[in-house]
Structure 1
Amino acid sequence: MNPLHLSPRSVTVLIVNWKSKDYVRASLRSLHEHAMELVKEVIVVDGASFDGCREMLLAEFPDTIFIQSEQNLGFGKCNNLGAKSATGDWLLLLNPDTVLRPGSLQTLAGAMEQCPDAGILGPKLLNTDGSLQTSCVQAFPTPINQALDSDWLRLRLPGAKLWDTQRAFTSRTPVEVQAVSGACMLLRTEVFRRIGGFSPEYFMYGEDMDLCAKVKKLGLRNYHVPASEIVHHGGGSSTGSFSKISAVLLRQSVHLFIHRHQGSFAAAGYRILMAVSAALRVCLLAGSSWWSPDPIRTERLRSLKKWKAVLSWSAGMESRLIRSFS
């Protein structure tokens, strides 16, 4: 199926690997099964994980372009490195833990041609069990919506203006949104290069928001395409110490985004509100975890450690925290 007037083999698929070899294999299998007629090349960048991904690609997907980074540059910089070699008209940025469903890339490509003002397109993301992954549509972070952000609230108040996502989840046609998830993004290669790719200041988290914001500043629009469905297995590594470092890095990246796009006053407000939010959660979790039965108690103690780390970050101790995780 060749959507509209899209030239065959116009898309460069770019995947960043970090200790995700098996996920990369599954993602490439789905790509070869459902969408290779649109794909000009596949580029995989390994962020110094040296997990055998090169050998797997040589054995199973020998046409894949493999780029080995000697350092773990982070998601954004690794994508920038891979994009330098892209020769396709369009870039499909894929997380390694994504699986394309039949027609998903074709539908995204068709939407790109139908929306001449499109900057970045993102599909509907599904969890492993087939349920909706609400993070596929995002509002730009503000101090207020970040302080109140939780899966519990999102599920119960999906139409709240804080999230600005309800229209996307009820529409059957492409709908303009502020930002889409970096798990799967389709955009023109020329646009990616014009905005300088991902901002290098972000190591993990927030770089997709920043990319969407930079695209909007060009006068282009970002769209969620609900008819395109992709499975995103994400979140499989968010336990233990990684949960703490990911929580800290997420807040650090959001703080950077707010400072860059909304100013230092808003960034200071975000840090203060996160301190209040984290302190409340620490108090609640500390009190409830002791009388909770297992495995609830174990989960609450894990959450308690995470929110203690966020509280420490709010107090300005992010450098010490990040060093302790490394």
Structure 2
Amino acid sequence: MSSNKSKVSIIAINYNSTAYTMDFIASIDKYHGKEVEIIIVDNASEVSPKEEILTKFPDVVVLECETNLGFAGGNNLGYRHASGDFIFFANNDTLFTAGLLDGLMQVFQDYPGVGLVCPKIKFFEPYGLIQYAGSTPLNPWTARNSTYGAKEKDLGQYDKTYETAFPHGAAMMVPRAVIEKAGMMPEDYFLYYEELDWGAMLKRAGYKLIYNGKVEIIHRESSSIGKSNPFKTYYMNRNRILFVKRNFPKIHQLFFSLYFGLLAFPKGLLVFALKGEWEHCKALWSAVRWHFKSPLSRAVKYESV
């Protein structure tokens, strides 16, 4: 970290994936050594990673949770123990590359009003393909959006710096001062969509979200919970609806309800049924039912950007 001496705290969550966490820490150590603070939050794994981590990396802070706090809850716990001026939230299945932190921190110096910066995110396998190079806004009727560069070969076409509609939760740098003003990640989601909601919170507080494609991080996507399972189906759909309730105006909520109820929901059930994936059917149904039964869902109020 040659260009900026402000202390960086790196926070990552471990959940039954100690091997990935060890690789993650080793990649940080390769480029930064003791220049940064590393905080690993263990979200109630079956086997605690603390002894293994501290044996090899004694300067790492390991926080052990008695229960799984989810993505936002775990990261917020890590933030409460962090001492850095800049907080870098990263998935434990990512790998650092040269110049990553300096490149992200430079954006805050070069662009006024920035609240969050994400790097280019590339897949670990197949190597060289882009996962994230910024994103478009959500469609106000369907709550769908697109990710720039998704599954494209990296030919330098996204080696730029520009504003993005939403961050990617696998790698986000935020100044402490921004979090103190805008608030920590919303914990209502448990998993998925919380970084989108947090991005909306930061924008409501007057900050810009920036993508910096001049630096990159490598991501072993969904290594801890699998690429497709009923758990993911449940939270992706439950939280998509929750995000709409929290962030869309009433007229768009109405049209989304029609779109989801008449098209997306029955189509999803049909696709899973045709594949014989009955657990996914139950997960999708449970995701919708949660919004009729949960006091949390009924208490949600729309906040405009």
- Secondary structure of the residue that 1:102 maps to in structure 2? coil
* Among candidates 152, 159, 162, match of residue 172 of structure 1: 159
Q: Does 1:309 align with 2:296?
A: no
Q: Match for residue 198 of structure 1?
A: 185
Cα 1:54/1:224, change in 2 over 3 Å: same
TM-score by length of 2: 0.83
- Cα distance, 1:211 vs structure 2: 1.1
Measure, in 2, the Cα distance between the counterparts of 1:281 and 1:71: 31
TM-score by length of 1: 0.78
* Among candidates 206, 209, 212, match of residue 199 of structure 2: 212
Structure (1/2) with the larger helix percentage: 1
- Secondary structure of the residue that 1:44 maps to in structure 2? strand
Measure, in 2, the Cα distance between the counterparts of 1:310 and 1:140: 24
Measure, in 2, the Cα distance between the counterparts of 1:239 and 1:319: 28
Deviates more, 1:124-133 or 1:98-107: 124-133
* Among candidates 135, 150, 163, match of residue 146 of structure 2: 163
Cα 1:311/1:34, change in 2 over 3 Å: same
Deviates more, 1:132-141 or 1:97-106: 132-141
Q: Match for residue 89 of structure 2?
A: 93
Measure, in 2, the Cα distance between the counterparts of 1:308 and 1:131: 36
Q: Does 1:246 align with 2:232?
A: yes
- Cα distance, 1:141 vs structure 2: 3.7
Q: Does 1:30 align with 2:27?
A: yes
- Cα distance, 1:279 vs structure 2: 2.1
Q: CA RMSD in A?
A: 2.8
Could you list the structure 1 runs, at least 4 aligned residues long, displaced by more than 4 angstroms after superposition.
237-240, 284-287, 315-320
Cα 1:283/1:237, change in 2 over 3 Å: same
- Cα distance, 1:245 vs structure 2: 1.9
The runs of 5 or more residues in structure 1 that have no matched partner are 150-161, 288-299, 321-326
Partner AA of 1:163 in structure 2? S
Partner AA of 2:240 in structure 1? V
- Cα distance, 1:228 vs structure 2: 1.0
- Cα distance, 1:203 vs structure 2: 0.7
Q: How many residues align?
A: 287
* Among candidates 242, 252, 268, match of residue 266 of structure 1: 252
Measure, in 2, the Cα distance between the counterparts of 1:279 and 1:228: 41
1:66-145 matches, within 5 Å, as 66-128=62-124, 129-135=126-132, 137-142=134-139, 144-145=141-142
Task: Tell whether the 8 Å contact from 1:271 to 1:314 is kept in structure 2 after alignment.
Answer: no
- Secondary structure of the residue that 1:194 maps to in structure 2? helix
Cα 1:285/1:204, change in 2 over 3 Å: closer
Measure, in 1, the Cα distance between the counterparts of 2:59 and 2:168: 28
Q: Match for residue 49 of structure 1?
A: 45
Measure, in 1, the Cα distance between the counterparts of 2:243 and 2:291: 19
